[in-house]
Structure 1
Amino acid sequence: MPTALITGITGQDGLYLSELLLAKGYEVHGIVRGQNNPKRDLVRRTVPDVHLHTGDLTDLSSLIRAMATAQPDEVYNLGAVSFVAYSWENARVTTDVTGNGVLNVLEAVRLYCGDDLSRVRYYQASSSEMFGKVQEVPQRESTLLWPRSPYGVAKVFGHYMTINYRESYGMHASSGILFNHESPRRGPEFVTRKVSMAVARIAEGRQDKLVMGNLDAQRDWGFAGDYVEGMWRMLQQPEADDYVLATGETHSIRDLLDVAFAHVGIDDWSGRVEQDPRFMRPAEVDLLVGDASKARDRLGWTPTVGFEDLVRMMVDADLALLRAER
């Protein structure tokens, strides 16, 4: 039975990845920050067979202890301060966790492996936000990185640190450059979930308006459940490498609103959505769309859930949550 250790297990990717690995017969361990983290119960309810350890990406000693206890064959570093807007408000914390945290996990893996660096295969959650002010359309593994947020800068540091450990120590360390991937498990602060929750509330008569920022930003949106399959496939390869995971399609925030509102029978949402400069980024990322041909050719990975089905899935899930509260 292979063993996996996951940081960031309380997030949507961590939960989907845990389910995937358990279904494949893995013993799964997860690191949760803080002894009284309220999300610990979420993990226990969703994936009760996961073994949880207390740890922190900024505390190398806690990561070393978790490695020694879990004895993993694979390590998936999904932990981060991942809300881009927050990274401007607290760039230092974002840098410490999302950037320096990667170095800590890599170092914990290296120290755990000792002279046998083939003992562990490592996955780093890189991000399409690293492309920022895009220099090429679509973006691929070789595209110049030009991040436009503290979050993106921190992700670039972690990405190149992963490459450095692979090239310096021969570690089987791969990075997945994942474009936006969403699900009903997405946090309410993210734009897709903000929209699906608001649309559900408006449909149920519990909310009148949705306040948004830039409606013209374009993203490549896929389903998180598809993307964790790609993470796992990367670590099954004989050689470590970096891969873009994306749908290859781009949609605007307006497209997102069109599909979400239409799903609840509202064709004209113009009177229900307001724009507020407070929700605008200081430096916007206007267009992200990925070329996942390398992942398709080498990993056999393709997304299975399209944009419209994804949006409808999220709205339906939020409607179900609201109706369960009655």
Structure 2
Amino acid sequence: MKTALICGISGQDGAYLARLLLDKGYQVYGGSRDAQMASFTNLARLSIRQDVKLVSVSINDFRSVLQTLLKVKPDEVYNLAGQSSVGLSFEQPVETLESISVGTLNLLEAIRFSNLPIKFYNAGSSECFGDTGREAADEMTPFRPRSPYGVAKAAAFWQVANYREAYQLHASTGILFNHESPLRPERFVTQKIVVSACRIANGSAETLTLGNIDIARDWGWAPDYIEAMWLMLQQPKPDDYVIATGQTRKLRDFIQIVFETVGLHWEDHIIIDPSLFRPTDIAEGYANPSKARKQLSWQAHYKMAEVAKLMVEERIQTEGRRAAQIVTS
């Protein structure tokens, strides 16, 4: 039985990864700054809360990280921790840099210091590339990040590459483009759109206020991308991979599909507020995931249109269950 430690298990990716690893027979440890106080709502939603061993670990504290590694002795470590919102990173740049860059460095150094044969996965981001125009970014595309979040992720990427080359660690980074699911919190624009559309369809008179809806992104389905993380650590040699669908669509298209799914015209319910535009936003993001397809035999099963519909369907089912519980209680 393999043992895995997931740092950032309470988030969207951490919960889906925990479920995947449990299904594969792993013993799964989940790291959180305060495991006794955290709610781990996403683990509960996936009905795996009781199957994960939770440990308190602060990845910004080297001693805490090292103690955890020596205690758990994991075969694989997945670093999904850190401030995860691009928009919030403009308001909290120091917290973003420390939680992502310093946290990654502590994990790498603790693995090196422990001398344990640990395979390490680092959650990278397409935000590292910045605005590449219509060029489809691959693993050789230069980084030009346009947000504090992108800067922090770029620093973490190069730390992983440095430790891989200098100390021969099995350390890989997945450069993931946008990936969504029902586990996304509402501060992410995709979930904000889905939740609002469902409320309006149920009779709410609210109006949804958004920023720039003409941005274009490569949107995928989070459970697909989790499999790619695991596949990277099963390779004989560590490497970095762009993970994406290869299809780019505008946020406007996502909005249209969501509202059409609930039987509404989006133009009747949305207001654009220029004050919500980010200081430096990426106009378009294109990806070339051919390396992952060739070397990992991985490809996305769902594109943006399917992702939007899946998120709406899950939201409707969740609201139906809540209504039934209210009636029965």
Asked if TM exceeds 0.5, the reply is: yes
Q: Which runs of 5+ in 1 are unaligned?
A: none
Query: Paired residue for 2:7?
Result: 7
- The change in CA–CA distance for 1:245 and 1:42 in structure 2 (over 3 A counts) is closer
Residue-pair matches, total: 321
Matched, 1:31 2:31: yes
Matched, 1:270 2:267: yes
Kindly indicate whether the alpha-carbon contact (under 8 Å) linking 1:139 and 1:290 is maintained by their aligned counterparts in 2: yes
CA distance in structure 1 between the partners assigned to 2:39 and 2:274 by the alignment = 32
> Residue 152 of structure 2 is aligned with which of 151, 154, 172?
154
Alpha-carbon distance in 2 for matches of 1:16, 1:141 = 25
Rate the CA distance shift 1:244–1:42 in 2: closer, same or farther, 3 A: closer
What's the counterpart of residue 123 of structure 1? 121
1:185 to 177, 180, 183: 183
Match of 2:326 in 1: none
Q: CA deviation at 1:325?
A: 3.1
| Structure 2 unaligned spans of 5+ | 324-329
Deviation at 1:107, TM superposition (A): 1.1
Do 2:76 and 2:118's aligned partners in 1 also have CA atoms closer than 8 Å? yes
Equivalent residue in structure 1 for 2:57, among 32, 55, 58: 55
In the alignment, the residues of structure 2 paired with residue 207 and residue 104 of structure 1 have an alpha-carbon distance, to the nearest angstrom, of 49
How far has the Cα of 1:210 moved from its partner?
A: 0.8
The Cα of 1:134 is off from its aligned counterpart by 1.6
Instruction: Output the CA distance in 2 between the equivalents of 1:16 and 1:219.
Output: 22
- Deviation at 1:110? 1.3
The equivalences for 1:98-113 within 5 A come to 98-113=100-115
Percent identity (aligned) = 42
Query: Is 1:90 aligned with 2:92?
Result: yes
TM superposition outliers: structure 1 runs of 4+ over 4 Å:
none
The letter for the 2-side match of 1:125 is A
Native 8 Å contact 1:3 1:73 kept in 2: yes
Cα separation, 1, equivalents of 2:293 and 2:108: 27
The answer to whether the Cα contact below 8 Å between 2:247 and 2:303 also exists between their aligned partners in 1 is: no
* Cα contact 1:136–1:143 (8 A) shared by 2: no
User: What secondary structure does 1:270 align onto?
Assistant: helix
- 126 and 279 in structure 1: CA distance in 2 versus 1, 3 angstrom threshold: same
- The answer to whether the 8 Å contact 1:44/1:50 transfers is no
- 8 Å contact 1:196–1:260 — kept in the other structure? yes
Q: Shift in Å at residue 43 of structure 1?
A: 2.8
Secondary structure (helix, strand or coil) at the match of 1:92 reads helix
Query: Which whole-Å CA distance do the structure 1 matches of 2:178 and 2:239 have between them?
Result: 20
Cα distance in 2 for partners of 1:40, 1:32 equals 9
Q: Is the 8 A contact 1:219 1:287 kept in 2?
A: yes
Q: How far apart in 1 are the matches of 2:319 and 2:57?
A: 34
Which residue is equivalent to 1:313?
310
Match of 1:212 in 2: 210
